[in-house]
A and B are shown apart, each in its own frame.
Chain A
Amino acid sequence: MIEFYLDGRSGLSPYQQLVQQVRHALRLGLLAEGDQLPKVKDVVAGLAINPNTVLKAYRELEHDGLVAARPGVGTFVTATLAGGSLAALGPLRQDLRRWLSKARRAGLDEESIEALFMSTFRSASQEDIA
C-alpha cells in the first residue's frame, strides 16, 4: 500500500498529483500487480481532499489500464509500468552521469545544467507530439 501526499508547490492539481504518484510507484516497483490502492474514503480523510478528485484520478488510472476497481472491495493494480525498462535504467543512468560530468567540465553550474536539460527535454517531447 502506498500513501499519497499533496505538494502545494508542484504546480500540478491534486488530481494530477495522485495519478503521478501511482505511476511513479508503479515505475519504481513500489506497487506491483495485485496490490491495492488506498481506499477513497481513507485518502479523503487523510488529505482533506474532495472525493471526486480521488475518484477522477482512479478512473484515469483505470482508463489507462493500470488498475481495476472491484465494486465494494477496492481498487487494485492490474499492470506494471516497470517491465522490461527496469533493465535499461542502469546503462541509461551511466550515460547521463557521463553527460553530467562533461557538462560540469564545460563550466556549467547546477542551475544551467537543469535549465539546459529541461529545455531540451521539453523541445524534444514537443517534437515527438508534432
Chain B
Amino acid sequence: MSAVRAEGLGRKYRRRWALSDCTLDIPAGHVTGLVGPNGAGKTTLLNLAAGMLPPTTGVIEVCGGVPGSGADQLAKVGYVAQDAPVYSGLTVDEHIELGARLNPAWDAGLARDRVHRVGLHGKQPAGKLSGGERAQLALTLGLAKRPELLLLDEPVAALDPLARREFLQDLMSAVAEHELSVVLSSHLVADLERVCDHLVVLVDSRVRVIGEVETLLSEHHRLTGPRRELGSLPGDQEVVAASHTDRQTTVIVRTTAPILDPTWTVGQLGLEDLVLAYLSKPVPNRPALEVLR
C-alpha cells in the first residue's frame, strides 16, 4: 500500500510551475524523508498531498483516496505546514477544543497528556508561544486526530538543537506507538539519518533517488583512484557523481555488485554525502560496456 502516489503531478501558480511532471510512490508504514534544494517542489507536493491545493495536471493518491475529497479523506491525513502555523488569538486549550470538534477520530486523552508532558500551559495564547512550543502544539494537533499519514513540512527548521531533539523524540515515540506513516521534508540530513527509514531526493520536481535508507547506503560507494575515463567502468555501476584532478578520479557509484577493480580505493558514504551527490549536477548517461565472453 502507498502512503503517497503521484503520476505526472503538476501545479502551476499563475505562470510559474512549482511542480511539474512529478511521479513517485512512497510506501505506507515508514518514516520517509523528503529532501531537495529550495524550489524543488517539496512544499507544493506536501500541500497537494494534504489537499490544501488541487493539482493543475496529473493525479495524486494519498492513503488510497484523492486528497481533499471529503471528510473521510481529511481525517486520514495530518499536516503540519512550514513554521507550524497556529491561531495566535486562541489559547492552547482552545486549539485542543477546536481539534476535538473538527476531527471525528479525535483522541482527547492523547492531546491532554501531550500538552501536559511537553509543558504547554492551557491558558496561554498561541501567539505568545516560542517556536519550539508552537511546533509541539501543532504536532499535538496532528497526532491527536489519529491520522494514517502525518505530513510535516520542515518541522524542526526553526527550533534550537534541544527543542529539535525533543520534537523528534516525541515524533518517533508516536510512530512506535500508533504505527502511522510519516512524510517529512527537511534540510537537516543528520536528523533524517536517525528518524527516516525511507528517503526521497527531489530535484526540479523529479525524483532523483528513492528507497530504503539502509539499502541506499549499502549500494552506494565512493571510489578513488588514478585518473581514468568514466567510460571504462562496468555497466552495472551507475555513476551518480564524478570529479577529476589531473591525477586522481573520484566517483560515486550505485551498484548491487561487489567492486572488483583493485585500482579503486572503495569507501562507504554517509547519508549526507549521498544526498549531496544527488543534488549536484547529474552525470550524463554513458554507453554501457558490454561484458566480453
Contacts and interface: CB of A to CB of B under 8 A. Distances in A.
Contact of B30 (A6, A8, A14, A52): A52
B30 A48 contact: no
A11 interface: yes
B239 interface: no
Interface residues of B, number: 25
Interface in B177-199: 177, 190-191, 193-197
Contact of B172 (A6, A11, A48): A48
A49 interface: yes
A53 B197 contact: yes
Interface residues of A, number: 19
Contact of B270 (A11, A15, A40, A44): A11
Given A13-B214, A44-B173, A49 B190 contact: no
Contacts of A15: 214
Contacts, number: 55
Contacts of A51: 172, 175-176
Contacts of A41: 173, 176-177
A13 B217 contact: yes
Identify whether the interface residues of A are mostly helix, strand, loop, or mixed.
helix
A112 interface: no
B268 A50 contact: no
Given A40-B176, A41-B173, A41-B177, A50 B194 contact: yes
B173 A45 contact: yes
A47 B194 contact: yes
Contacts of B191: 48
Interface string A35-60: 00000110011111111110010000
B270 A50 contact: no
A56 B176 contact: no
B81 interface: no
Contact of A14 (B168, B176, B193): B193
Interface string A11-47: 1011100000000000000000000000011001111
Contact of B175 (A6, A11, A50): A50
Given A8-B190, A11-B268, A40-B176, A52 B169 contact: no
Interface of B: 30-31, 165, 168-173, 175-177, 190-191, 193-197, 213-214, 217, 268, 270-271
18 contacts: A13-B214, A13-B217, A40-B176, A41-B173, A41-B176, A41-B177, A44-B172, A45-B172, A45-B173, A47-B169, A48-B171, A48-B191, A50-B172, A50-B197, A51-B175, A52-B31, A52-B197, A53-B197
